């Protein structure tokens, strides 16, 4: 991507991040990548648990921390102590967004709930991410990504019908999606504030983004009582639409989402008569013979290497793609051309590969400026330069482990 632009979309937006682990921090990271000044507040000495979660590097920080908390300034603050709560209020008074993902009621217990924060700053936008949201009979329950996948309905669909449900790709999918929706909600609230002059709460339960992306699951059940079961790599409503084995012991994804595309695949397989008015020309016919169709396609793909299949399918305009491992992603020219893998230099770990930012803006793109900071790295910038605390006050707060 291009060098940092003269103007970034969120220049001048100040974000206070008091969240931990992944969903809240990922929310504020999205904002930081596009110019927001994000101050990450961590418990003194202990720090964010994400610093100890995942693969630990030689510098003591984990890979998830370095990658997912980039572009933020780190300061230490104990919100549980009155002095710490008072400092947070001073920051909030001049902030645009506050991001938190404690269990509902935690901030209220410390005297830092929305009722207090909106009095401190009526224009404040508060992003609140929790397991089940701020309301409802389950709101007090703790939640993690795995629970979000399960409660949201995705885990039930992951795996094969005769086997137990499996992790759908990653247990952290709800955290990332909730963080993304949190960032979207914050931007919508900023836009609304331009019209109303008031801030508001963005309230997200980890399971809600999962439920939101389950295509026709809800209306299908409501209308027809249909309960979708696990289908392995297959997909409801379309066939063939799965992962198929190749001659070189790899896998290829083929997606036939219409009768027209199946006709192209039939041509590629040398059986054009099966399309159109043939035995598998209509989706209903293919669905009725799902096992037979997938078996035939698997037999065909097994006769070619993955690269050969890619050539054949591309020639016939059949949507296809390799089922990649991370090693293959690093070797792929499309990833290289789009600069999807960003190499960042850092004094603590040397050079580190991280996923580049999304989305891609052509005029005012975002930028990764630095990896997840060391704990308290920016204390002086926050407490001396911004809040104008003198040396004696900083020393007192440090002794009390407030900062």
Nearest residue to 70 (alpha-carbon basis) of 108, 106, 17: 17
As a whole number of angstroms, the distance between CA 39 and CA 44 comes to 15
Write down the catalytic residue from 17, 96, 175, 203.
175
As a whole number of angstroms, the distance between CA 277 and CA 306 comes to 30
How many other C-beta atoms can be found within 10 angstroms of the C-beta atom of residue 338?
Answer: 12
Active site residue 37: no
Contacts of 248 (CB under 8 A, 6+ apart): 305, 306
Chain mean position to CA 266? 37
The kind and range of the H/E element at 184 are: helix 173-196
For residue 251, what are the β-bridge partners? 245
Q: Give the 3-state DSSP-derived string for 8-59, with helices as H, strands as E and coil as C.
A: CCCCCCEEEECCCCCHHHHHHHHHHCCCCEEEEEECCCCCCHHHHCCCECCC
Strand 251-255 and strand 241-245: the pairing is: antiparallel
SS3 state of residue 253: strand
Strand 341-346 and strand 350-355: the pairing is: antiparallel
As a whole number of angstroms, the distance between CA 379 and CA 202 comes to 28
Concatenating the DSSP letter of every residue in 71-104 gives TPEEEE--TTSHHHHHHHHHHHTT-SEEEE-SPT
- Distances from the Cα of 263 to the Cα of 268, 384, 403, angstroms: 9, 69, 66
- Phi, psi angle pair for 219, to nearest 5°: -65, -30
Radius of gyration of the chain (CA): 25
As a whole number of angstroms, the distance between CA 239 and CA 256 comes to 6
Residues with catalytic roles: 175
């Amino acid at each position: 991507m291009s060098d940092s632009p003269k103007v970034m979309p969120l220049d001048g937006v100040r974000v206070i991040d008091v969240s931990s682990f992944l969903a809240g921090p990922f929310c504020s990271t999205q904002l930081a990548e596009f110019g927001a000044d994000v101050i990450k507040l961590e418990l003194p000495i202990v720090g964010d648990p994400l610093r100890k979660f995942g693969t630990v590097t030689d510098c003591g920080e984990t890979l998830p921390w370095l990658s997912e908390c980039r572009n933020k300034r780190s300061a230490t603050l104990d919100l549980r102590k009155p002095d710490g709560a008072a400092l947070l209020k001073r920051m909030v008074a001049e902030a645009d967004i506050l991001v938190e993902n404690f269990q509902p009621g935690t901030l209220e217990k410390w005297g830092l709930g929305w009722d207090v924060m909106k009095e401190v700053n009526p224009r404040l936008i508060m992003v609140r991410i929790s397991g089940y949201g701020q309301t409802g009979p389950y709101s007090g329950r703790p939640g993690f990504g795995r629970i979000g996948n399960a409660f949201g309905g995705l885990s039930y669909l992951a795996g094969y019908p005769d086997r137990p449900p499996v992790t759908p790709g990653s247990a952290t999918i709800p955290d990332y999606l909730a963080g993304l929706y949190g960032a979207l909600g914050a931007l919508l609230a900023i836009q609304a504030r331009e019209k109303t002059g008031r801030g508001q709460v963005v309230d997200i339960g980890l399971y809600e983004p999962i439920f939101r992306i389950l295509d026709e699951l809800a209306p299908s059940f409501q209308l027809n009582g249909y309960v979708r079961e696990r289908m392995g790599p297959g997909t409801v409503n379309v066939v063939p639409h799965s992962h198929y084995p190749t001659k070189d012991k790899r896998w290829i994804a083929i997606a036939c989402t219409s009768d027209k595309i199946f006709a192209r695949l039939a041509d590629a397989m040398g059986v054009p008569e099966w399309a159109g008015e043939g035995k598998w020309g209509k989706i209903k016919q293919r669905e009725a013979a799902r096992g037979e169709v997938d078996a035939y396609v698997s037999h065909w793909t097994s006769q070619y290497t993955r690269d050969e299949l890619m050539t054949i399918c591309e020639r016939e305009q059949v949507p296809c793609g390799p089922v990649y491992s991370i090693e293959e992603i690093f070797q792929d020219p499309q990833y290289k051309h789009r600069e999807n893998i960003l190499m960042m230099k850092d004094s603590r770990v040397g050079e580190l590969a991280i996923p580049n930012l999304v989305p891609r803006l052509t005029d005012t793109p975002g930028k990764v400026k630095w990896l997840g900071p060391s704990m308290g790295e920016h204390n002086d910038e926050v407490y001396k330069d911004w809040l104008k605390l003198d040396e004696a006050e900083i020393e007192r707060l440090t002794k009390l482990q407030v900062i």
